Amino acid sequence: MREILRLADRATQMTVGLFTVDLPAADGRTRFDPSGLVKTWAARRAFALLMTIPGVDVCLNAGGDVALSPVTPDRCWRIGIEEPGTGGPLGVVAMTGGAMATSGTAARGGHIVDPRTGRAPSVLRQVSVLGPELLWADVLATAAFVAGDAALDLVAAYPGYEAVVVTSAGQARRTTGLPLQAPGLARGLEAAMVTDRDRVGPDALRGRARDASHRVLA
């Protein structure tokens, strides 16, 4: 439990409070809910154990969040991202290692709470984050979902992490470094790609997130 609390504090700091285990309750107080962290914390421990087995490629799927480690550097997995509400593919990412985590409403409805309002966010339908470490990819995916229009800014502040989001209107946007192959995306992901991150999100969030970008997530 001490490790969970330590990681939760760090996650809250790095996301400017958008990810927290202290959520608003109906009576106006806060309730302790670590469920947004413990799944990938447990997966992280299981992945570390699997990594001790010599000569084995590791692909761990924890409820759709994936961690990968190949024996040989050229081994590549093709990880599909589902388009929310359709069951079809939004795109595919070729990965030789690292992790991908997704947060959204397609599978579980409005289960994510904005700690600032106590209500479910409504700007985005889905956020997928790619990065070197599963736990932090999951934290950033949840925080970015809460951040709404500032989602890509938040993720881009952390080197090595990339994201693709789907808005409530069904428009897909991504950070420029995400190697997403989108063969079935007739709506045009590239046309919706956010290249000027300064035009989305509040200045305060961008500044505080970038101030934290020197931290190594491990």
**Residue 196 within a domain:** yes
In a domain? residue 218: no
6 lies in a domain?
Answer: yes
Is position 166 within any domain? yes
Residue 216 belongs to a domain: no
Residue 217 lies in a domain: no
Q: Which residues pair with 60 in a beta bridge?
A: 67
Is residue 16 in a domain? yes
Q: pLDDT truncated to tens, each residue of the chain (218 aa)?
A: 889 899 999 999 999 989 988 887 777 788 888 888 899 999 999 999 999 999 889 999 998 899 999 887 777 888 889 888 887 888 899 898 999 999 988 766 667 888 888 888 889 999 999 999 999 999 999 999 999 999 999 999 999 999 999 999 989 999 999 888 865 443 444 433 333 333 333 444 444 444 443 333 54
CATH code of the domain containing 12: 3.10.520.10
Domain count, the chain: 1
Assess if residue 168 is contained within a domain: yes
Structural domain that includes position 159: 2-211
